[in-house]
């Protein structure tokens, strides 16, 4: 499977959790160039996209013109929506937008955006939560309330008494009052081809969540997945999907799987199945291009736990890197892989790498053993009583060494930035 030409893809919004997953999936793909658009709020886009643009919110009438301007200037082929509200906005305005949109049909987008419409559409077909139309219908607590048009866990509450319910309902609009489902929660990642229908379905348990996103997830067994496949087939028989989509279920008190929501988009934690071999964003582009879809996943047990990753912006300007060997590039007789990643980033930028070492080991044997030959533009073996600053050209240079004494001597004498191993992450640049 391959493209005949390069494709320019605009991820909108690029800074959402979904946008980041699309970026991870596509950033190293051949013949794909990535762009990002986001409203003027603090977000992650500038840290991962070299070509990032600020556009008005979709509640501002100027947003379509702003998107079309990006499309025109950068020859955007596809817009990849990365938020539920953006999906609906793009769907409602697709005739006004001058690029193809990776999106399912309008009816699917409209029904999936509303939980009450979803439940009404699928009631009597698959299990859906019981909805209370008014407070008088509620006989027992706890119950669960959430917005009809919400996402994640924003404004979603488990309610244990009538006083708490009345307080929240008074301050919030368009809230659904529904039965509380006490069991385990699952996301089922799916893919549909407009010619073949449903071609992939695999469920994963949401073991731990934060702000509505699964932060610890693992694949379900084959028996459970067969039930999810039945649900997926029913859903895809009633609604038309193009490309990637997912649905979520939760067990009720009788362990029956009850539908929570359906979303015609990428899920942030689709990364679990991506690392088994199912690249949902790439497959969605293939599907839109009319390329025959083939899906292969590794048959291994895989579990995912998500945590924050730090990315940085800085005003450093350098093209020479002076780096130490023992306890910096080689620690406990192992190569420091994060530092190696940074050094190869420097090689890609045609920067100069100079090794400064006071090693007492056989340098040639050490470099051979750790496959580090050819990494350095220059190597200086320095006497233990000598100063490394004597071998550094301070112009556009940085210095990396585990030794505080070495770093402070260089800093005080040459006034250049110095780094120890814990600081390397601030130098890494993942932008594409």
Q: What would you report as the CA-atom Rg of the chain, rounded to the nearest whole angstrom?
A: 26
How would DSSP label each residue in 355-416? EEE---S-HHHHHHHTT-TT--SEEEE--TTS-GGGG---TTEEEE-S-HHHHHHHHHHH--
State the Cα–Cα distance between residues 210 and 223, nearest whole angstrom. 28
Low-confidence ranges of the chain (pLDDT < 50): none
The domain that holds 379 is classified in CATH as 3.40.50.1000
- Residue 150: domain span: 130-179
185-196: b (≥16 Cβ within 10 Å) or e: bbbbbbbbbeee
Residue with tokens 């496959």: 371
Q: Do 359 and 395 fall into the same domain?
A: yes
Residue 125 domain-assigned?
no
The residues facing 157 across adjacent strands are 145
What token pair was written down for 432?
């594409």
Q: What is the pLDDT of residue 208?
A: 95
CATH of the domain at 60: 3.40.50.20
* pTM for this predicted structure: 0.92
Model pLDDT for residues 168-184, shown as the tens digit of each residue: 888 787 889 999 999 99
Same domain, 340 and 234: no
If asked whether residues 268 and 341 sit together in one domain, one would say no
Report the sign of the C-alpha dihedral through residues 324, 326, 332, 333, in that order: positive
So what's the pLDDT on residue 23?
97
Q: Which tokens go with 164?
A: 């708490």
Residues 51 and 88 in one domain: yes
In whole angstroms, give the CA distance from residue 405 to residue 412. Answer: 11
Considering the domain architecture, whether residues 281 and 199 belong to the same structural domain is answered as yes
CATH number where 136 lies: 3.30.1490
Q: Are residues 201 and 158 in the same domain?
A: no
Same domain, 46 and 142: no
Q: Which two tokens stand for residue 393?
A: 């050209």
The count of other CB atoms within 10 Å of the CB of residue 406 is 21
Q: What are phi and psi of 111, to 5 degrees?
A: -70, -45
Residue 2 is predicted with a pLDDT of 65
Total number of domains constituting the chain: 4
Q: Are residues 261 and 295 in the same domain?
A: yes
C-alpha neighbours within 13 Å on the C-beta side of residue 218: 8
Whole-number Å distance between alpha carbons of 233 and 238: 9
| Domain-ending residue, one of 305, 330, 354 | 305
Is residue 170 located within the same domain as residue 227?
no
The 3-state DSSP class for residue 313 equals coil
Residue 314: inside a domain? no
| Dist. CA 41–CA 115, nearest whole Å | 27
Q: Which pLDDT score is estimated for 172? A: 80
Question: Per the domain annotation, does 2 fall within a domain?
Answer: no
Query: What string of DSSP letters covers 128-179?
Result: ---EESSGGG--SS-EEEEETT--TTTT-EEE-SHHHHHHHHHH-SSEEEEE
Please give the Cα distance from 27 to 50 (Å, whole number). Answer: 11
Q: Which pair of structure tokens corresponds to residue 353?
A: 């790498």
**pLDDT for the residue numbered 32:** 96
Asked whether the beta carbons of 313 and 46 are under 8 A apart, the reply is: yes
Q: Could you tell me if 170 and 196 lie in one domain?
A: no
Same domain, 408 and 330: yes
pLDDT tens readout for residues 136-175: 889 889 999 998 887 767 778 898 988 888 888 887 878 8
Do 209 and 141 belong together in one domain?
Answer: no
């Amino acid at each position: 499977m391959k493209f005949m030409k390069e494709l320019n893809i605009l991820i909108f919004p690029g800074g959402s959790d979904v946008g980041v997953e699309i970026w991870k999936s596509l950033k190293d793909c051949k013949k794909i160039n990535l762009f990002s658009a986001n409203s003027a709020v603090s977000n992650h886009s500038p840290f991962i996209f070299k070509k990032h643009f600020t556009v008005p919110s979709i509640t501002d009438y100027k947003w379509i013109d702003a998107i079309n301007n990006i499309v025109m200037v950068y020859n955007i082929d596809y817009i990849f929506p990365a938020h539920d509200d953006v999906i609906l906005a793009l769907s409602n305005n697709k005739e006004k937008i001058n690029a193809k949109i990776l999106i399912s049909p309008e009816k699917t987008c409209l029904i999936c955006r509303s939980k009450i419409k979803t439940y009404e559409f699928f009631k009597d077909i698959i299990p859906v939560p019981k909805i209370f139309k008014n407070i008088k219908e509620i006989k027992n607590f706890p119950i669960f309330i959430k917005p009809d048009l919400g996402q994640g866990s924003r404004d979603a509450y488990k309610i244990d008494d009538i006083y708490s319910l009345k307080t929240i309902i008074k301050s919030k609009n368009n809230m659904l009052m529904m039965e509380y489902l006490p069991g385990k929660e699952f996301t089922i990642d799916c893919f549909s081809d407009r010619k073949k229908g449903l071609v992939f379905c695999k469920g994963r348990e949401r073991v731990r969540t934060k702000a509505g996103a699964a932060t610890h997830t693992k694949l379900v067994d084959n028996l459970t997945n067969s039930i999810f496949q039945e649900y997926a087939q029913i859903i895809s028989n009633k609604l038309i999907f193009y490309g990637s989509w997912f649905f979520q279920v939760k067990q009720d008190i009788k362990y029956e799987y009850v539908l929570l929501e359906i979303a015609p988009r990428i899920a942030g934690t689709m990364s679990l199945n991506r690392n088994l071999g199912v690249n949902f964003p790439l497959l969605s582009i293939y599907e839109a291009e009319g390329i025959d879809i083939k899906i292969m996943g590794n048959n291994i047990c895989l579990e995912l736990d998500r945590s924050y990753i730090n990315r940085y912006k800085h005003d450093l300007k350098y093209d020479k890197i002076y780096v130490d060997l023992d306890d910096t590039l080689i620690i406990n007789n192992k190569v420091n892989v994060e530092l190696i990643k940074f050094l190869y980033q420097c090689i890609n930028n045609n920067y100069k790498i100079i090794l400064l070492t006071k090693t007492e080991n056989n340098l040639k044997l050490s470099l051979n053993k750790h496959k580090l030959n050819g990494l350095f533009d220059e190597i200086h073996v320095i006497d233990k009583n000598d100063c490394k600053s004597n071998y550094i050209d301070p112009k556009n240079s940085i210095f990396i060494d585990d030794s505080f004494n070495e770093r402070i001597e260089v800093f005080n004498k040459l006034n250049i930035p110095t780094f120890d191993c814990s600081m390397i992450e601030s130098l890494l640049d993942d932008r594409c």
